[in-house]
Structure 1
Amino acid sequence: MILNLRLTHSRFVNTEFGGTWPTKFFPLRWLQSTTIIKESFDSHSSFYQVSINVLSVRPKVAELVCQLYGRSLHPELFDIHQTQCYERGQYKATVRITSTGHLVTWQIGDLLLTEVTTSAHAELPQKRRLMSNRIRASREDYLQCNGGIRYDLAFSLEATNAEKMRHYQNELSLQSTRQGILQRFEASGRFEAGALSYVNVEARDKLFRVQAFHTFPDDAAVVRIQSKFQLP
């Protein structure tokens, strides 16, 4: 992946996709290897071409958090493998599978909600973070928004074994041939098959439902997450 960045007044600006980051938030510590080529333009601005190799191996399941923001998050902050866009009735949404889980952006009018499943160690902004839950056992949560719009979240963490994991991953692979999006990750060597992420979406005029399944073979665990964005 190549990012073209201009450094101006201690902020990185993505010259292709837009968006800015303070230099202290630029996530170079995430990278497996990085090559930076610098070319100066003037006394106030520099250009950086950054070549990035990002690890696609799962984090530990114990590190996972599911968070909700009342804003967008830059896609460049994540290692994205699959993307699907939806537009139905009054809203539009984008669903992405990332190396740590998934990223969902849902918007209607001026209201924009972003759900992200990621590592607790990820350097994400705290501004307008509305909800943050560590993935432990099972839990339900919700947020009531203006205009009668409601967000519901339910997740569970299920322990399994190698045989059940193999069967579970086969079922997800079969399901993905009919609907939804699936991402296979590299095996770490401890388990013969890599992790899977499967996301299925139900898009109605007044309901957008996301069902996500993330497997963690090395931790013998499966994470199930269901979220609903509902209009009155």
Structure 2
Amino acid sequence: MNPQTKSNSLQSYQTILYDRALHPELFPLRERRVVRHGAYEAELWLMPGGHLFRFEFGTMCASELVTDQEGNLPDSGVLSAFLCAGERDFEHRFPKAKAGYMTTVQTETLSENLYMATYEEMMDHAREAEAMSFAWHDSGPCLSVLDVQRYSREIHMQSYHLIAAGGVVLRTQSIFEHE
């Protein structure tokens, strides 16, 4: 695997937090799921190598977008944006709604053998957890997985995006919560 490919793959990924819903026609959706639980609603969009996680509570709406898409992204409503390379923690409060958001983003580049073992493990996890998943082939087997847990006042979502070009693994753990 070419080290330059690894670097370029990682450098294009970003996490963007919006204070609104986004439109699906801007993204290559492969699966969509809506979760209504108690006082909140969440929507998950799975895309090759990325996802969107929308949370609504009362009049508050926020969306987490993880993407390597560099152009044609909405500018309106951006609360924060950061590159995913390395490890990042981020929190944001929505005081009027008495709600909060937090995420941890981690990236790694793996050797080919370790990447394939991780790919197989994540395929098994997606099946066992009945998680959203999409597999495709691009310079090797690639996989995106979204796994969600619902609680009375919060929702947790873990994402795993495995990109064969460069052996890239991008993991996020995100929580939206309300009082």
Deviation of residue 181 (structure 1)?
A: 1.2
Sequence identity (%)? 21
Which residue pairs with 2:126 in the alignment? 176
Which amino acid in structure 1 is aligned with residue 42 of structure 2?
A
Aligned with residue 187 of structure 1, among 130, 138, 145 = 138
Give matches, 1:114-133, under 5 Å. 114-119=63-68, 121-133=70-82
Q: Which TM-score applies when normalising by structure 1?
A: 0.70
| In structure 1, distance between residues paired with 2:154 and 2:169 | 26
Which residue pairs with 1:167 in the alignment? 117
Segments of structure 2 that go 5 or more residues without pairing to the other structure are 1-7
CA contact (8 A) 1:155 1:226 kept: yes
Deviation of residue 187 (structure 1)?
A: 2.9
Aligned with residue 148 of structure 2, among 201, 204, 210 = 201
Higher relative contact order (CA 8 A, sep 6+): 2
Deviations 1:9-53 (A, max 9, x none): xxxxxxxxxxxxxxxxxxxxxxxxxxxxxxxxxxxxxxxxxxxxx
SS at match of 1:219: coil
RMSD (CA atoms): 1.4
Greater helix proportion = 2
Q: Which of 1 and 2 has greater Rg?
A: 1
Q: Which TM-score applies when normalising by structure 2?
A: 0.90
Q: How many residues align?
A: 170
Segments of structure 1 that go 5 or more residues without pairing to the other structure are 1-58
Deviations 1:69-109 (A, max 9, x none): 00111100000001111000000111111124001111011
Which residue pairs with 1:29 in the alignment? none
Which residue pairs with 2:172 in the alignment? 225
